[in-house]
Structure 1
Amino acid sequence: MGGGTNGNGGGAASAMDVYLPRTQGDVDDDGKERRTGTVWTATAHIITAVIGSGVLSLAWAMAQLGWVAGPITLLLFAAITFYTCGLLSDCYRVGDPATGKRNYTYTDAVKSYLGGWHVWFCGFCQYVNMFGTGIGYTITASISAAAINKSNCYHWRGHGTDCSQNTSAYIIGFGVLQALFCQLPNFHQLWWLSIIAAVMSFSYAAIAVGLSLAQTIMDPLGRTTLTGTVVGVDVDATQKVWLTFQALGNVAFAYSYAIILIEIQDTLRSSPPENATMRRATAAGISTTTGFYLLCGCLGYSAFGNAAPGNILTGFGFYEPYWLVDVANACIVVHLVGGFQVFCQPLFAAVEGGVARRCPGLLGGGAGRASGVNVFRLVWRTAFVAVITLLAILMPFFNSILGILGSIAFWPLTVFFPVEMYIRQRQLPRFSAKWVALQSLSLVCFLVTVAACAASIQGVLDSLKTYVPFKTRS
């Protein structure tokens, strides 16, 4: 991980690491192993991070928002994310964008520009969300794996058959797989996994779009309206409010990649300047994913109407062709294997970097140092995955969990910190026109975040009323 590790052992880069003699051209300006990332690898990381489980809930979100507010909401979140990620990419280096001091992590950038309580708040938001995203991805992957068996069951035994699956076994299987992949030392070694995951995300999104289009043309399964679900018909007034806010949280989750932007940027080669490359990658990644989001959300809504399932590929609006539904869900599982790593590797780096600084004796030195780091990494990362796996079994609530994660990440990490760092970087006068505009944007996004978080928590509480631990069936 570029933020707190090097390629040699997974711990924080120490003074010895930086000043070790190396052949000229083998290292970057900070003494670390030369970075080789390009706009294409960065775009792959972005698509891997952005087109995740969030895309599967967009038809449901559109059903809550309707034809007017739904597409507008998607486009607004895309525009806000693109703009604020541009501000954030300029914070990778302090001072000159080509030669200034590097910030290896999001928290490093906040420390360089803001300092004080902002650093603690940023670390809390970032790492809690990375942890939560691991839970969300584990839940989603297990539901998709279970859907493969359900699809085959429905095909061979009929659509009226009880083909529900206990998801706990699938969650455990996904956890075992992640425990193995988590032993990859750092983020730089994930480029191949991100490319595979990006291809998978394109594949299942394209299948969802194709199936939705076919269903829309042949026989739409429900009616659509300009304002989404109808009070008194589909939901009552209170449910309409809560579900609308929860839908906003789901859309926010679909765009929450700023959380790892600095870490992705730290994989890029230094020429051209990293911020320029990152802006190009962000433009390519956000525009591509927004196109898919609009297609998935709008076509999914047109196919299923106000009764659109929470997860378009596992809610079984689609039964046939069953083999294509199987392929789509298999692609989701493969993609989320990579997505889990993209989100969790920065957290691994932060913990291991802290251990390297505070307990150097634990890691040893020389040959023992390498084995020490590996032993520590093996134990702590495996324990981390085990905790996530247990919590995923205990909280298998797809849409509500996505809404909570989206609301936690969106305002502080996508809007608040980039805006505050930009104001400090450019030294904007207080109450100037641009200062007021940026603070107004931050305030509006904060209110959306609070509403979405409250609605999603309410959704979890409602689900808990009928929930039996370890016996959840999908």
Structure 2
Amino acid sequence: MEVEKDVYIKQYSSDEVDDDGRIKRTGNVVTATTHIITVVVGAGVLALAWAIAQLGWLAGISVMIIFSSISIYTYNLIADCYRYPDSVNGKRNYTYMQAVHSYLGGTMHVFCGLVQYGKLAGITVGYTITSSTSMVAIKKLICFHKNGHGAYCKFSNNPYMIGFGVLQILLSQIPNFHKLTLLSTIAAITSFGYALIGSGLSLAVVVSGKGETTHLFGTKVGPELSGEDKIWRILSALGNIALACSYATVVYDIMDTLKSYPSERIQMRKANVFGIITMTILFLLCGCFGYAAFGDHTPGNILTGFGFYEPFWLVAIGNVCIIIHMVGAYQVLAQPLFRIVEMGANMMWPRSDFINNERKHKIGSLTFNVNLFRLIWRTIFVIMATVIAMAMPFFNEFLALLGAFGFWPLIVFFPVQMHISQKQINRFSLKWCVLQLLSFVCFLISVAAAVGATHGISKNITKYKLFRYKQ
């Protein structure tokens, strides 16, 4: 880490850096809340109506509120562990992995890195799928509007994934997370746009009296749905909700943008509360109104699943908002992955010009730096994510698998164990037992959701030819 510190000292004067030699931070509660909303209010919010349809009113709303409450508690534990050993004056942990290493040791540090950065890579694939799905949905909307709802309007997602990938190659040259505030703000605003459009259109259906029949316990078992499939859908729905509550993969990257006074811990605790309450309100609006509008036939995504055809221009605007949000959210989630790889390369080869040298270039009045290692490796990463998305474009099941993969370890297990270590809570004391029970219950939920998502993906793969998917 000293290598990176030296680099900062060389690039900036002493009045521009914090006491640890890094560039002085200017973030606050508002910017942190913006980043949280950008990450959590993703297109997955539009899948929550489908999730509530599988769980029903009682379980669906209860699970959302319970998951949100758990998230506020555990994210506050994460905020408390930003510094070590003292949460106010201790040494900063620049990444989630560093915090786990400080409090729990090397083995847990490796496990955390595998889960965290594996999930980040997976989410970029998911966002590529989501953006292309919305692009195709716009084209289909125009086709249906011109030719009628019964017309054949199927199009390949692949050209749109490639276009999205090209754009992300360019945006991936943004050097670090600190430069993402504008992009993140635009993404956060558009996330409100499509969430409100989706819930508004659903509410209009309900108010007009055209809403479908709903049930306290969700979709009914019958000719169209076997008992076995009902169970699989419930498990997948849990995974969708779990993913929707997750920003643990970037929580320390967000904290690392906060100015040092008041303490990062205090600012992040406020941002956690504001961000998760906002998230929960939007989730309940989209999920409840969507289920009330479509009942047992709720689509996997209320804007791209063609629950709505008209007004086609408003549905199209909603999908444009999704695309813009995916552009920004991709970078908010990819930058921590870029950062950890580049920090590792810097530490292993501190004297390499290829890895460390920034070359200044000027086009007209615009001046920018180009780092060859950053240019090449980030480009390769985006290409790989795009190819994987083209090979497996299953929206709901993929979201559920990612949610299950990261929910327990990142949102519950590591925060609980770090808190126990930090506060030196005695083994088998009442608080220790309650915390371990919470962790175990969430572990069971993660396993169940992963099994359900894997089952859904395996069913789709048997019907699908690689790179030939049409929506």
State how far apart, in whole Å, the 1-side matches of 2:245 and 2:299 are. Answer: 20
Deviation at 1:231, TM superposition (A): 1.3
Alignment counterpart, residue 422 of structure 2, candidates 425, 436, 439: 425
Deviation at 1:25, TM superposition (A): 3.2
Q: CA RMSD in A?
A: 1.7
The aligned amino acid for 2:140 is K
CA change 1:112–1:367 in 2 (3 A) is closer
Deviation at 1:98, TM superposition (A): 3.3
* Mapping 1:268-347, distance limit 5 Å: 268-347=258-337
- What's the CA shift string for 1:203-227, capped at 9, x where partnerless? 1101011000001112435321011
Structure 1 runs not aligned, ≥5 long: 5-11
CA change 1:159–1:22 in 2 (3 A) is closer
The aligned amino acid for 1:143 is T
Alignment counterpart, residue 41 of structure 2, candidates 51, 59, 70: 51
CA change 1:35–1:13 in 2 (3 A) is farther
State how far apart, in whole Å, the 1-side matches of 2:262 and 2:358 are. Answer: 39
Q: Do the aligned partners of 2:4 and 2:343 also contact (CA within 8 Å) in 1?
A: no
State how far apart, in whole Å, the 1-side matches of 2:428 and 2:356 are. Answer: 55
The aligned counterpart of 1:7 is none
SS in 2 for 1:37: coil
Alignment counterpart, residue 394 of structure 1, candidates 391, 395, 410: 391
State how far apart, in whole Å, the 1-side matches of 2:5 and 2:67 are. Answer: 42
The aligned counterpart of 1:213 is 203
- What's the CA shift string for 1:223-249, capped at 9, x where partnerless? 210111111244111101111010000
State how far apart, in whole Å, the 2-side matches of 1:459 and 1:126 are. Answer: 23
State how far apart, in whole Å, the 2-side matches of 1:16 and 1:402 are. Answer: 40
Equivalent pairs counted in the alignment come to 464
The aligned counterpart of 2:376 is 379
Deviation at 1:99, TM superposition (A): 2.5
* Mapping 1:221-240, distance limit 5 Å: 221-240=211-230
The aligned counterpart of 2:365 is none
Q: Do the aligned partners of 1:356 and 1:363 also contact (CA within 8 Å) in 2?
A: no
TM-score by length of 1: 0.95
SS in 1 for 2:352: helix
CA change 1:439–1:373 in 2 (3 A) is farther
Q: Do the aligned partners of 1:363 and 1:373 also contact (CA within 8 Å) in 2?
A: no
TM-score by length of 2: 0.95
Q: Do the aligned partners of 2:199 and 2:289 also contact (CA within 8 Å) in 1?
A: yes
State how far apart, in whole Å, the 1-side matches of 2:84 and 2:327 are. Answer: 34
The aligned amino acid for 1:414 is I
Alignment counterpart, residue 115 of structure 1, candidates 105, 116, 121: 105
State how far apart, in whole Å, the 2-side matches of 1:125 and 1:317 are. Answer: 35
Q: Do the aligned partners of 2:25 and 2:260 also contact (CA within 8 Å) in 1?
A: yes
The aligned counterpart of 1:460 is 457
The aligned amino acid for 1:328 is G
Alignment counterpart, residue 69 of structure 2, candidates 79, 82, 86: 79
The aligned amino acid for 2:16 is D
Q: Do the aligned partners of 2:408 and 2:443 also contact (CA within 8 Å) in 1?
A: yes
Q: Do the aligned partners of 1:43 and 1:281 also contact (CA within 8 Å) in 2?
A: yes
- What's the CA shift string for 1:270-309, capped at 9, x where partnerless? 1110010001111110000100000000000000001100
State how far apart, in whole Å, the 2-side matches of 1:308 and 1:316 are. Answer: 10
Deviation at 1:259, TM superposition (A): 1.5
The aligned amino acid for 2:255 is Q
The aligned counterpart of 1:34 is 24
CA change 1:22–1:305 in 2 (3 A) is closer
The aligned counterpart of 1:9 is none
- What's the CA shift string for 1:81-140, capped at 9, x where partnerless? 111000000111113333310000000100111112101100000000000000011100
Q: Percent identity?
A: 50
Q: Do the aligned partners of 2:355 and 2:373 also contact (CA within 8 Å) in 1?
A: no
Q: Do the aligned partners of 1:94 and 1:101 also contact (CA within 8 Å) in 2?
A: yes
Alignment counterpart, residue 253 of structure 1, candidates 231, 240, 243: 243
State how far apart, in whole Å, the 2-side matches of 1:261 and 1:164 are. Answer: 39
The aligned amino acid for 1:184 is I
Deviation at 1:469, TM superposition (A): 1.5
1:174 pairs with 2:169: no
Q: Do the aligned partners of 1:363 and 1:369 also contact (CA within 8 Å) in 2?
A: no
State how far apart, in whole Å, the 2-side matches of 1:426 and 1:322 are. Answer: 55
State how far apart, in whole Å, the 2-side matches of 1:19 and 1:196 are. Answer: 32
State how far apart, in whole Å, the 1-side matches of 2:8 and 2:318 are. Answer: 45
State how far apart, in whole Å, the 2-side matches of 1:131 and 1:264 are. Answer: 18
Q: Do the aligned partners of 2:354 and 2:371 also contact (CA within 8 Å) in 1?
A: no
* Mapping 1:121-200, distance limit 5 Å: 121-200=111-190
State how far apart, in whole Å, the 2-side matches of 1:32 and 1:120 are. Answer: 25
Q: Do the aligned partners of 2:345 and 2:355 also contact (CA within 8 Å) in 1?
A: no
The aligned amino acid for 1:111 is H
CA change 1:370–1:438 in 2 (3 A) is farther
SS in 2 for 1:267: coil
CA change 1:21–1:406 in 2 (3 A) is closer
1:98 pairs with 2:88: yes
Deviation at 1:56, TM superposition (A): 1.2
Q: Do the aligned partners of 1:259 and 1:414 also contact (CA within 8 Å) in 2?
A: no
State how far apart, in whole Å, the 2-side matches of 1:72 and 1:240 are. Answer: 19
* Mapping 1:398-413, distance limit 5 Å: 398-413=395-410
The aligned counterpart of 1:243 is 233
State how far apart, in whole Å, the 1-side matches of 2:140 and 2:185 are. Answer: 29
State how far apart, in whole Å, the 2-side matches of 1:303 and 1:324 are. Answer: 17
